[in-house]
Structure 1
Amino acid sequence: MAQPLAREVAEEVAKLNGVCVRPVALRRLDLVTGKAEIVDVPCGATMESKCPSCAKRNRQLRMAQCREGWHVAEEPVDSPAPATEEQRWLVEFRADMQARRDAAAIAGEDTTDWDAVLAGLDEEINDAGMRGNVVGRTTPKRVRSTRRRQDAPDLPKRKMAKTTLGRTFESPDGKVYRPSLFVTLTLPSYGKVRNGVPVDPETYDYAQAARDALHFSKLVDRFVQNLRRVAGYDVQYFASVEPQKRLAPHLHMAIRGTLPRAEIKQIAAATYHQVWWPPCDRVRFEGEHLPVWQDGVGYLDPDSGEVLPTWDQALDELDHDDAAEPLHVLRFGTQVDVKGILSGTPDADQCIRYLSKYLTKSLGETLDGQAQREHAARFVDALRYEPCSPSCPNWLRYGVQPKGAKAGMAPGRCRSKAHKPEHLGYAGRRVLVSRKWSNKTLAEHKQDRRTWVLEALGQADEPTDPLRYVWKPVPAGDANLAPLAVRLLRSVAERQRWRAYMAQLQAQADGQDHSATQQAGRAA
């Protein structure tokens, strides 16, 4: 029993060599030659707990994305590509389907099937490389007063300039500097903590901490909006969300361009987000006393049989109540760290590494010690019945039907990742990148790295016809699919051959440089 399993050793060897330990087997059929082969495709996991090799590659990719966009000196190209023939055909076909649907509605016919067809076409249009919806917003957006709260300070506002680049500074010797910022924003205190653990768990405000974590991404959006208004240009950013030791999410943000530190702190102090949701402070149904589902009607009060108000009806009631208050108001804490960064300096490299430090770990993987695990358990318990979105089943606990209600919903059983212990209430994206950051998508950054490797190996990455190959998943019991250990060892052997070849090319390049240096010395 003390002997290790051979398969586990194979996985360890794969990890040491940077090979994916959860490859996805796909059968590739070449329509030109008729040849079919099984290809192992990396799983592409971003979490180290799932696949360390893929997570490491994704982290390096994000680091390259951050580095390339932070101190660019030229405006990114913002003109969309011309429409393809396929895209034009899809839009024309959707126009025809929309006309038929409208004709059916005028004739008094049921348009359910037509709506389903149009929804499918909208998905195809997006898959074909077009953004947005052809017909725009189909339902009116709820609009609330944009007047600032009386307890929030006003912010200066500059005239917007059509640029994404920050200010430059010229030294007396004529050298031009393009500084940027590295900003860290945190949430307010919920009680005194020591080593990441509340000193008194009974007085620690877990309820506010839970709501702040659930809506943290909206607060970040508000900060970016205010930052651009004050800066007076289209500020670009690369940010990552990480957990503090006390388990509250906080933000690290690389900002292109610079502003006075006092203004950044002023913006953070004036930024807030109001959550205009129905009240959920009074519990109406719990335990065995829960709303009952009725097909075609919705959820009913188990005592009176009355239909619970839908999500839209609850919002309508909130809109008509002049004395209504937001469910929650979210703000940043007083701790704001602002650091100036210059391109190509050790500080810039250090900040890039810091931005990507925890990207391969889930928020719950940072727990250290029994006390912090107990703190996390109390935090997750506070999140259990907190609504995380309009479609959260927890709304039933407070007498409101969730948006898109269906049978089988029950409070405390939301499947959203916000309620999973490893996410600690934060359901947003871990990496936030503005659209004009590096003028490239993440897929384009990945292709750049692939092209560099292939060129170094002497294998040109020639473009191929995307319609030449047909890819299909290989069933687990396929007779032609080798055991996982065998596939891992094959990938390890291939990776070792690549590395040996790369080392050989590097040695040749070093030898040529040394020879050129000697020749220059003799010539001198």
Structure 2
Amino acid sequence: MTSVLDGPVITADMARELALSQKVCIRPLLRRVHDRATDTEDVVALPCGSTREAVCPPCAHKARILRMQQCTEGWHRTDEPEYRPTRQLDEDQVDEDQPDNEDRRVRSTRRRQDAPDLPRVPQEDRTVGRVFATADGREYRPSMFLTLTMPSYGAVTSAGVPADPAHYNYRRQALDALHFARLVDRFWQNLRRAAGYKVQYFGAVEPQRRLVPHLHAAVRGAIPRATIRQVVAATYLQLWWPSFDRPVYVHRVPVWDGESYVDADTGEVLPTWDQALDRLAADPAAKPAHVMRFGRQVDMAGTIAPSEDADRAVRYLTKYLTKAVADTHTEPDSEPEPVVEAHVDRLHAELRYLPCSERCANWLRYGVQPDQAGPGLTPGRCPSKAHDREHLGLGGRRVLVSRQWSGKRLAEHKADRSTVVREALLAAGIVAPETERLAAAVTLADGSPRFVWTDTRPDARTYARVLLASIAERHKWRDQYEAAKAAAPVDKRSATTPPPDPG
């Protein structure tokens, strides 16, 4: 289907390819806006905001650039960021200062006998790294780039697939992937105790070629390598959950009777989550359902900013954030090898029925009602994306950021980028369009909303027209911004970033 615009015939596919080349969102959310003051209507394109390159490369690129800015601003700080304690955290932040809420029942808190003790040192109330001085009087404040990996689950080939799939431990790999973030949180808690200060970090969870999760992290401050290795060896995670070694229901499933899940044949009520945990706590011979640790491979590198090494580390840290876990090592526009597809399928099959949390529907398969159970739960159909083939167990955050990393939320970093652009334009005498110019908060004289937004289902003609209009507007902003930078140079690091999409 074609769209006749001002000039030659432009198809929707042509407009899409042009938008890709100009880094304009190719999957905009189109909304119809009625201006009640002028009684006119227009179709407005809102960026989709996807973080996946396979979905929308321009939006994914902008998301990665924003993460790079967030990482850079917090890594080598010389002053303490403003701390604003709140129980309402950003989607990309974890309250790692609080212990995990696995289970509050009485249980021995003694460390496992097969785990070394953690070093204990006096604690300092700081988050920035120490300053070191050289013999000639120069001062520097180093930080670190850290990589943590998981252990082996069996020999793998150069392609990252098991050399002997029949003896490869897919179950343990799947469980470790499902609970990897919990182990990482425990590591940071332990490292703070051993380092003697409030270690701050920006971490990215990525899969290795064998599709096993590992962590890359920018760490503020320098910590002795021996200390880090000791903390890695001493860090473990125990899941004190009911046993899920053998499924109770395979060819049939429990049913909801209006109050609880019951056996469809006998009518017996399945134990609730609390009842199952009470039984576990009362059993003196009980063992954790799963224990996980990091592997022996630990990479540590010191870095000083500003430097090319620090910039390169930031780019590497955010390299795979725009890719789905299953597609991380697949080249664009290429089909994965059959052996790799088979490896992904086998791992996905294992993940489908393993419980991902206390509320996972898969607990019904093992004869236990999930925590806060309700109607509509079916084993193998848990809504958590951790079970999806695209995520392969990593259904939570791919970016883990400590709360005092930069002193800002991600939305505030995004606002900073817009402010830099607007100030540059204003210094050159150019007034940028107001971002709220079509907002519902804009009212008429009687106080009623001036703009009324409604959903619309655009055809190919409208899609192409709106996409080309967005490209033209981006060109206009880019030309104005480049002229403004030439007339009044601004901060080099921020000014070179692309301006935000208008409106």
Question: What is the TM-score with the length of structure 1 in the denominator?
Answer: 0.80
- 2:476 matches 1:497: yes
Post-superposition offset of 1:478: 8.2
**Distance in structure 1 (CA, Å) of the matches to 2:472 and 2:434:** 24
Contact persistence 1:285–1:399 (CA under 8 A): yes
Q: Pick one of 322, 325, 328 that aligns with 2:287.
A: 325
- 2:123 matches 1:194: no
Contact persistence 2:34–2:40 (CA under 8 A): yes
- 2:65 matches 1:60: yes
- 2:337 matches 1:363: no
Instruction: Please give the secondary structure, in 2, of the residue aligned with 1:274.
Output: strand
Query: Closer, same or farther in 2 for the Cα pair 1:455/1:213, shift >3 Å?
Result: same
- 2:235 matches 1:256: no
Post-superposition offset of 1:463: 9.4
Matches within 5 A, 1:360-439: 360-366=322-328, 367=330, 368-439=336-407
Deviations 1:367-386 (A, max 9, x none): 44221111111111111211
Contact persistence 1:290–1:302 (CA under 8 A): yes
Query: Closer, same or farther in 2 for the Cα pair 1:227/1:36, shift >3 Å?
Result: farther
Query: Closer, same or farther in 2 for the Cα pair 1:314/1:5, shift >3 Å?
Result: farther
**Distance in structure 2 (CA, Å) of the matches to 1:186 and 1:350:** 21
Post-superposition offset of 1:33: 9.2
Deviations 1:269-323 (A, max 9, x none): 1100001111011221111x22122113x11123321100011111111122121
Give the letter for the 1:242 counterpart: E
Give the letter for the 1:179 counterpart: P
Q: Pick one of 347, 352, 360 that aligns with 2:314.
A: 352
Contact persistence 1:272–1:330 (CA under 8 A): yes
**Distance in structure 1 (CA, Å) of the matches to 2:33 and 2:78:** 43
- Flag the structure with larger Rg: 1
**Distance in structure 1 (CA, Å) of the matches to 2:89 and 2:168:** 46
Query: Closer, same or farther in 2 for the Cα pair 1:65/1:126, shift >3 Å?
Result: closer
**Distance in structure 1 (CA, Å) of the matches to 2:286 and 2:123:** 35
**Distance in structure 1 (CA, Å) of the matches to 2:219 and 2:357:** 30
Post-superposition offset of 1:507: 5.0
Matches within 5 A, 1:426-465: 426-457=394-425, 458-459=430-431
Deviations 1:429-469 (A, max 9, x none): 00011111111111111011111122233336879799436
Instruction: Please give the secondary structure, in 2, of the residue aligned with 1:239.
Output: strand
Match of 1:309 in 2: 271
**Distance in structure 2 (CA, Å) of the matches to 1:369 and 1:54:** 28
Match of 1:277 in 2: 241
Post-superposition offset of 1:141: 4.3
Give the letter for the 1:459 counterpart: V
Matches within 5 A, 1:116-265: 141-142=104-105, 144-195=107-158, 196-265=160-229
Contact persistence 2:424–2:488 (CA under 8 A): no
Match of 1:11 in 2: 16
Query: Closer, same or farther in 2 for the Cα pair 1:497/1:467, shift >3 Å?
Result: closer
Query: Closer, same or farther in 2 for the Cα pair 1:331/1:253, shift >3 Å?
Result: same
Contact persistence 1:30–1:468 (CA under 8 A): no
**Distance in structure 1 (CA, Å) of the matches to 2:218 and 2:165:** 34
- 2:287 matches 1:335: no
Contact persistence 1:32–1:468 (CA under 8 A): no
Query: Closer, same or farther in 2 for the Cα pair 1:171/1:35, shift >3 Å?
Result: farther
Query: Closer, same or farther in 2 for the Cα pair 1:15/1:472, shift >3 Å?
Result: farther
Instruction: Please give the secondary structure, in 2, of the residue aligned with 1:455.
Output: helix
**Distance in structure 1 (CA, Å) of the matches to 2:221 and 2:35:** 49
Post-superposition offset of 1:144: 3.7
* Unaligned ranges ≥5, structure 2: 2-8, 96-102, 331-335, 444-448, 490-503
Contact persistence 2:36–2:452 (CA under 8 A): no
Q: Determine what percentage of the aligned residue pairs are the same residue.
A: 53
Q: Pick one of 455, 459, 464 that aligns with 1:475.
A: 455
- 2:253 matches 1:290: yes
User: Is 456-465 or 13-22 further displaced after alignment?
Assistant: 456-465
Query: Closer, same or farther in 2 for the Cα pair 1:282/1:41, shift >3 Å?
Result: same
Deviations 1:145-199 (A, max 9, x none): 3321111100111121111012110122322110011000011000011120111
* Unaligned ranges ≥5, structure 1: 82-121, 133-139, 511-524
**Distance in structure 2 (CA, Å) of the matches to 1:456 and 1:260:** 43
Instruction: Please give the secondary structure, in 2, of the residue aligned with 1:384.
Output: helix
Matches within 5 A, 1:20-99: 20-26=25-31, 38-79=43-84
Contact persistence 1:49–1:361 (CA under 8 A): yes
Instruction: Please give the secondary structure, in 2, of the residue aligned with 1:198.
Output: coil
**Distance in structure 2 (CA, Å) of the matches to 1:316 and 1:342:** 52
Instruction: Please give the secondary structure, in 2, of the residue aligned with 1:246.
Output: coil
Give the letter for the 2:141 counterpart: R
Q: Would you say how many aligned residue pairs link Structure 1 and Structure 2?
A: 453
**Distance in structure 1 (CA, Å) of the matches to 2:140 and 2:471:** 45
Give the letter for the 1:500 counterpart: D
**Distance in structure 2 (CA, Å) of the matches to 1:504 and 1:295:** 67
Give the letter for the 1:158 counterpart: V
Query: Closer, same or farther in 2 for the Cα pair 1:239/1:376, shift >3 Å?
Result: same
Query: Closer, same or farther in 2 for the Cα pair 1:154/1:488, shift >3 Å?
Result: same
Give the letter for the 2:263 counterpart: D
Instruction: Please give the secondary structure, in 1, of the residue aligned with 2:277.
Output: helix
**Distance in structure 2 (CA, Å) of the matches to 1:152 and 1:22:** 50
Deviations 1:40-96 (A, max 9, x none): 221111111111111111100000110011001011122569xxxxxxxxxxxxxxx
Contact persistence 2:424–2:485 (CA under 8 A): no
Instruction: Please give the secondary structure, in 2, of the residue aligned with 1:474.
Output: strand
Contact persistence 1:277–1:327 (CA under 8 A): yes
Instruction: Please give the secondary structure, in 1, of the residue aligned with 2:135.
Output: coil
Contact persistence 2:50–2:60 (CA under 8 A): yes
**Distance in structure 1 (CA, Å) of the matches to 2:174 and 2:399:** 21
